[in-house]
Amino acid sequence: MAVRQILKMGDPRLYQSCELVQEFNTTALTGIIEDMFDTMAEYNGVGLAAPQIGIYRRIVIFGLESNDRYPDVEAVPETILINPVITPVSEEQEEGWEGCLSIPGMRGLVSRYSKIKYSGFTPTGENIAREVEGFHARVVQHECDHLDGILYPLRIRDIRNFGYEDALVQPDSGESETSPDSGPC
Ligand code: NI
């Protein structure tokens, strides 16, 4: 178990597509996932994708416990999702502020599908299938984008809605599902 270095935006390794995991229930896979959780915890993230620590496999982790101090931030179950597939439930999208451990100190307003179905596998190869919305749906879309080499600034429609956390004015941050308190993905 180890905290790994997180690749930062600008590093070309973040822009490559990742390969499917072929073997489940292996010590190598377990080791990667432990390092991902250690790294996410160290940097107070709510999600992390394997390529952010230089592993080019289709593995993401995420989760956020409910917190009395931030009742507006919706809890997301701790999840390890391997070889994920996302299907939008409808065309409806919503905007929300996102951060990323590969882009420390910054935030951007990103449009994502409001409701999605996602599926994938656990580390032991069991199926996961869920239908989710809101912040949970946003986190999954953000993390899975990493597996295709897409960082959230590539999805910002108006680049003026991208900037430093302490400089941005976020008029709805008090109610937003992705307020700064919810942490970067
Ligand atoms: Ni990210």
- The answer to whether the pTM exceeds 0.85 is yes
Question: Ligand 1 centroid vs 14 CA: distance in angstroms?
Answer: 10
Q: Which of 131, 143, 165, 177 is catalytic?
A: 143
- What pLDDT is stored for residue 177 in this prediction? 43
User: Token pair of 106, please?
Assistant: 């910054």
pLDDT for residue 73? 77
CA angle 141, 146, 150 (to 5 degrees): 90
Domains plus CATH for the chain?
Answer: 12-168 (3.90.45.10)
Q: Give residue 174's pLDDT.
A: 45
Which pLDDT band holds residue 171 (cuts at 50, 70, 90)?
Answer: low
Return the number of other C-beta atoms located less than 10 Å from residue 63's C-beta. Answer: 17
Residue range 42-63: average pLDDT? 97
Instruction: Give the pLDDT confidence score for residue 180 in this predicted structure.
Output: 47
Q: How far is the centre of ligand 1, averaged over its atoms, from the C-alpha of 144 (Å)?
A: 9
Q: Is 122 left (phi over 0), alpha (psi -120 to 50) or beta?
A: beta
Whether the Cβ atoms of residue 98 and residue 141 lie closer than 8 Å to each other: no
185 C-alpha to ligand 1 centroid (Å) = 4
Residue 102 alpha carbon to ligand 1 centre in Å: 6
Between CA 19 and CA 16 the distance in angstroms is: 10
Residue 153 is predicted with a pLDDT of: 98
CA of 92 to the centre of ligand 1 (A): 22
For residue 3 the two structure tokens come to 């905290």
Asked whether the predicted pLDDT for residue 160 surpasses 80, the reply is: yes
Active-site residue flag, 23: no
Per-residue pLDDT at 118:
98
Model confidence over 61-111: pLDDT tens digits?
A: 999 987 776 677 789 999 999 999 999 999 999 999 999 999 999 999 999
**Average pLDDT value for residue range 5-33:** 98
pLDDT, position 185: 74
What pLDDT shows up at residue 184?
72
